[in-house]
A and B are shown apart, each in its own frame.
Chain A
Amino acid sequence: MNLLVTGGAGFIGSHVAEALLGNGHRVLVVDDLSTGREENLPVGVEFEKMDIRHPALGRVMNSFRPEMVFHLAAQMDVRRSVADPSFDAEVNILGTLRLAEAARVAGCRKVIFSSTGGAIYGEQEVFPAPESHPCRPESPYGLSKFCAERYLEYFSHHGGPAFVALRYANVYGPRQNPHGEAGVVAIFCEKMLRADTPVINGDGRQTRDFVFVGDVVRANLLAMVEGVQGVFNIGTGVETDINWLAGELARLCGFSRPVPHGPAKPGEQQRSSVDATLAAQVLGWRPQVSLEKGLQLTVDFFRSRL
């Protein structure tokens, strides 16, 4: 079938596009390459270099007629969302809204939206957080993702495509940008392999729920199934602290020096993990790649690019 992947030149989007091509679908990627990279585009994909807010998006969709849209294009930098909340809202809210309108006109059946589990719940009351946990985002980024979900939900009730939101925990794996603000695994890998010194923010006892990109891709594929709708957490439910992560990566990278601690980042969440029981029940999704294995694959990738 014809499938559209927005943000398909990015880290997660390119893996999704690649998997869809591998399953024999015809895939169009729309990406403005602001953070995505042309070398991430998988072979066999059709590509339109375009901002999702561009007025021509509707025409592109009408001519391609995707049955489903995987919407991964986003402003994904939490710090930038704090510095420039309007820009964040324009891309993440208005961009999604435009896409939803165009999808409705083009007769698209479903939008599978990449949302965030890490930023949508705020400081958690329960560990791991289920989908029913209150959403109290502490950044414009979390707010814009939450709002985009609601718009897609609204459209699904008003003649638009069905809607799935996948709220990812901390996704890591090959092709993650090691030079960004987020993505501690990629940042540490790059630095350790180059014998540069990574820095742990604060005491390193803050926790994250790390989920491998291959597992995230599988969640996207499972979300295509007829009748599947709604909001699903995609994570392992396991909290891993940054000290452990740094130690494990140092071992895999052959980095023998101690990893220094820097000042804690103000406003950084202490603990985070999501409960993916619903995804297990409805999608039949469970993470399959252990953190040890996933980190090994990621280190191998970054090493091959040195």
Chain B
Amino acid sequence: MDTVLVTGGAGFIGSHLCRRLLREGWRVYCADNLLTGSLKNIEDLFGQEGFVFLKQDVTNFIHIPGRLEQIYHLASPASPIDYLQLPIQTLKVGALGTHKVLGLAKEKKARLLLASTSEVYGDPQVHPQPESYWGHVNPIGPRGVYDEAKRFAEAMVMAYHRHHGLDTRIVRIFNTFGPGMRRNDGRVVPTFISQALRGEPLTIHGDGSQTRSFCYVDDLVEGLLLAMEKGDAQPVNLGNDREMTILDFARLIIQLTSSSSRIVMTSRPVDDPNVRRPDLSRARQLLGWEPKTSLEEGLRRTIEYFRKEDGQGGGTA
């Protein structure tokens, strides 16, 4: 049985990735310090053969006994409300955490995939964003802690690749959604769905003309596996290129939840990007990857998940 380490494995994407890797027959070490991740996300994996949970802060030395073939490095607060509240931890995990994980990859001769982010493009001046775009980031803005942590992490991964010949991947993940997101993580999908299910007004920042694209988590996980197997050291975007205004998105959620919620507009946060859409040419060419799940289908499954959560006394319906 080959062994893989997933840092941030109890988080939203990490938990889906662990589940998929176990299904593919991997022995999975899931490391998480549970700062923003939760055991609830991996509840079903305990007791499964080949699954090991490690409560670990990746800014500390990580010990994995025996052989280790691959590392998916996902650990980081990733939601604006988290990294705005945990600015120093976010910078530390991007810098020190990535350094420690690279050290482990070097020692074990393991292939490493860094989960980077579309945030490295900042508020982009180029649209859609290809991997060759260098970005437009305010290094000293409040969101800079996440953007720059990931930019630094990318720089260090490339340095280990060039200097030590480490086998590495960099994946820039665009907005992703699906079951397992935290209701209160501040992102637009869980916020809108929760508001719609409660019949409360959906709050839009600004006039709602800013655009986003949303990738369903199963597609994203498929892309991560393909990038690990078939990718190269150069960054690759993963996301969904169906772009939508936030206003249209709010309307769609109201429709899918059959909610009577209204839409209200509030002020925009600092450095909130205006447009965001991945250029997926490279992912299609290199990996033969394509997001398959329609936005409507993905949302239906996510709404179902939040409904169930409500049913379990998780909130109000």
Contacts and interface: CB of A to CB of B under 8 A. Distances in A.
Contact of A46 (B47, B49, B54, B60): B54
* Most central of A49, A59, A60 by chain B CB within 10 Å: A49
Interface in B52-71: 52-57, 60, 63, 65
B47 A45 contact: no
A44 B47 contact: no
Nearest to A64: B52
A300 interface: no
B57 A50 contact: no
A39 B38 CA distance: 10
Given A39-B34, A50-B46, A26 B63 contact: yes
Contacts of B107: none
A47 B60 CA distance: 17
A38 B34 contact: yes
B24 interface: no
The dominant DSSP class at the B interface is loop
B53 A47 contact: yes
Interface residues of B, number: 16
A42 B60 CA distance: 13
A48 B53 contact: yes
B65 to A, nearest CB: 7
Nearest to B33: A43
A303 interface: no
Contact of B55 (A45, A50, A60): A45
**Which interface residue of A44, A56, A60 has the most chain B CB atoms within 10 A?**
A44
A38 B55 CA distance: 9
Nearest to B32: A47
A84 B52 CA distance: 34
Contacts of A43: 33, 55-57, 60
A11 B54 CA distance: 19
Contact of A44 (B39, B46, B53, B55): B55
B54 A45 contact: yes
Contact of A48 (B34, B47, B57, B63): B47
A42 B55 contact: yes
Contact of B53 (A46, A54, A56, A59): A46
Interface in B72-91: none
Main secondary structure of the interface of A (DSSP, over half): mixed
B94 to A, nearest CB: 18
Interface in A47-99: 47-50, 54, 56, 59-60
Most B Cβ at <10 Å: residue of A46, A50, A54: A46
A41 interface: yes
A41 B39 CA distance: 12
Contacts of B53: 46-49
Contacts of A39: 34
A34 B39 CA distance: 14
A43 B52 CA distance: 14
A89 B120 CA distance: 57
A45 B56 CA distance: 7
7 contacts: A43-B55, A43-B57, A46-B52, A47-B55, A48-B47, A50-B46, A59-B49
Given A39-B34, A47-B54, 12 more contacts: A26-B63, A33-B39, A38-B39, A41-B55, A42-B55, A43-B57, A44-B54, A44-B55, A44-B60, A47-B55, A49-B53, A50-B47
Interface of A: 26, 33, 38-39, 41-50, 54, 56, 59-60
Interface of B: 33-34, 39, 43, 46-47, 49, 52-57, 60, 63, 65
